[in-house]
């Protein structure tokens, strides 16, 4: 702005931010975790822009408004039409808010499903004693029984309920198969298996007949598990009339994975998770955003985090904080519609990469230009 004193410079600041965000999402092991765009996850009208342009769209709009405001305040007397630029950006922002509010008016119709969520913060490590492990597993069993008796059709446990050897994993599969069959529920259980071939983070989904219908292997690893073996396959399983995808915690921090499940026509995502306490809200809301991008319901049960159910528009239907023994549960009955098709689901990060290209062109075409001086 100082160099060119032209209205077009209002776009440089948002282009810088979106470019940095896109490159982090693409190349860093934690992606764009903590993107400023996620701060808008509870401002639902503007969040609907996610369904069109993804996280880059919301980030661009936030920074465009800030840039226009800065131009009007600091350079209003020296840059032609700067205050008019602010007005136009304000009207554009208002238009997106209005369109977002209108989008959320669309009714969601579908089958009513009752979900049960469970989280116990206490962990079962590789060297845990049999008595310690038994108390925690018995408590999970009791919660599943109670939720099933209250009408739960699908029960979701958190990530890494236990770290198991191969032999222990076989026994746990038999045990939870029996639990699902006994209570006639679909049951998701998160476990880690520590074997000679490397550590693997799994989500097991048992159907109401006790069959192991899904064994999902986590794709993206949090810092404490960077040495684990990553998975690469996507799992979608039909329960009743809906198609259920499965992902684990950090997987849902990456838009590319969330969009992949949209392309597979998942109506619901079951997401066991293990957060770090202080990041509970952010971890939950990043996952909510994936639901808006791809148009599905998200059911997320997190140790050291939140138990959350959200819809395809980012509305949190129900939420509760986790707890140590005896843990916390959440029973939610909600409409589960067929996946809501989104523009972002079709075009992905086309807008974001367009911003990266535009910023690259700016760098090439403005190199070596001299600064213009502004008088007092």
| Per-residue pLDDT, 375 | 35
φ and ψ at residue 332, rounded to 5 degrees: -135, 125
Size of the chain in residues: 376
Quote the CA–CA distance of 140 and 120 in Å, as a whole number.
8
Residue of 201, 145, 123 lying closest to 169 (CA atoms): 201
Look at phi and psi of residue 34 and say left if phi exceeds 0, alpha if psi is from -120 to 50, else beta: left
317, 310 contact by CB (below 8 A): yes
For 159-267, list the strands marked E by DSSP. Answer: 163-164, 186-195, 198-206, 212-217, 236-239, 242-246
φ and ψ at residue 184, rounded to 5 degrees: 55, 50
| Per-residue pLDDT, 244 | 98
Question: What are the pLDDT tens digits along the chain (376 aa)?
Answer: 888 888 889 999 999 999 999 999 999 999 999 899 999 999 999 999 999 999 999 999 999 999 999 988 888 766 667 778 888 899 999 999 999 999 999 878 889 999 999 999 998 998 899 999 999 999 999 999 999 999 999 999 999 999 999 999 999 999 999 999 999 999 999 999 998 889 999 999 999 999 999 999 999 999 989 999 999 999 999 999 999 999 999 999 999 999 999 999 999 999 999 999 999 999 999 999 999 999 999 999 999 999 999 999 999 999 999 999 999 999 999 999 999 999 999 999 999 999 999 999 998 988 755 544 433 3
Q: Where do we find the tokens 């259920």?
A: 244
Quote the CA–CA distance of 146 and 284 in Å, as a whole number.
25
Tokens of 255: 């838009």
- Start-to-end CA distance of the chain, whole Å, equals 16
């Amino acid at each position: 702005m100082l160099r060119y004193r032209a209205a077009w410079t209002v776009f440089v600041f948002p282009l810088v931010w979106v470019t940095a965000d896109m490159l982090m999402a693409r190349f860093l092991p934690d992606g764009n975790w903590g993107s400023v765009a996620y701060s808008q996850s509870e401002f639902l009208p503007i969040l609907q822009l996610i369904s069109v342009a993804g996280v880059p769209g919301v980030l661009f709009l936030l920074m465009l408004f800030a840039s226009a405001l800065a131009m009007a305040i600091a350079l209003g007397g020296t840059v032609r039409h700067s205050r008019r630029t602010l007005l136009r950006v304000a009207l554009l922002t208002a238009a997106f808010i209005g369109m977002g509010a209108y989008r959320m008016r669309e009714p969601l119709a579908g089958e009513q499903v009752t979900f049960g969520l469970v989280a116990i913060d206490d962990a079962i490590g590789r060297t845990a004693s049999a008595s310690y492990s038994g108390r925690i597993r018995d408590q999970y069993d009791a919660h599943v029984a109670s939720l099933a008796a209250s009408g739960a059709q699908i029960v979701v446990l958190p990530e890494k309920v236990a770290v198991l050897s191969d032999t222990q994993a076989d026994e746990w599969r038999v045990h939870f198969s029996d639990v699902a069959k006994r209570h006639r529920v679909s049951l998701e259980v998160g476990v880690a298996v520590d074997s000679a071939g490397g550590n693997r983070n799994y989500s097991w989904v048992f159907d109401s007949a006790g069959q192991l219908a899904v064994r999902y292997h986590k794709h993206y690893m949090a810092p404490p598990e960077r040495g684990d073996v990553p998975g690469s396959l996507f799992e979608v399983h039909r329960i009743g009339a809906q198609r259920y995808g499965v992902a684990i915690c950090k997987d849902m921090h990456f838009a590319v994975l969330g969009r992949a499940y949209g392309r597979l026509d998942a109506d619901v995502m079951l997401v066991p998770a293990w957060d770090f306490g202080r990041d509970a809200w952010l971890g939950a809301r990043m996952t909510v955003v994936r639901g808006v991008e791809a148009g599905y319901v998200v059911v997320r049960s997190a140790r050291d985090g939140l138990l959350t159910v959200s819809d395809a528009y980012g509305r949190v239907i129900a939420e509760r904080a986790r707890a140590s023994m005896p843990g916390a549960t959440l029973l939610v009955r909600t409409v589960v519609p067929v996946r809501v098709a989104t523009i972002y689901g079709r075009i992905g990060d086309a807008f974001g990469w367009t911003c990266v290209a535009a910023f690259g062109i700016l760098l090439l075409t403005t190199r070596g230009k001299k600064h213009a001086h502004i008088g007092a």
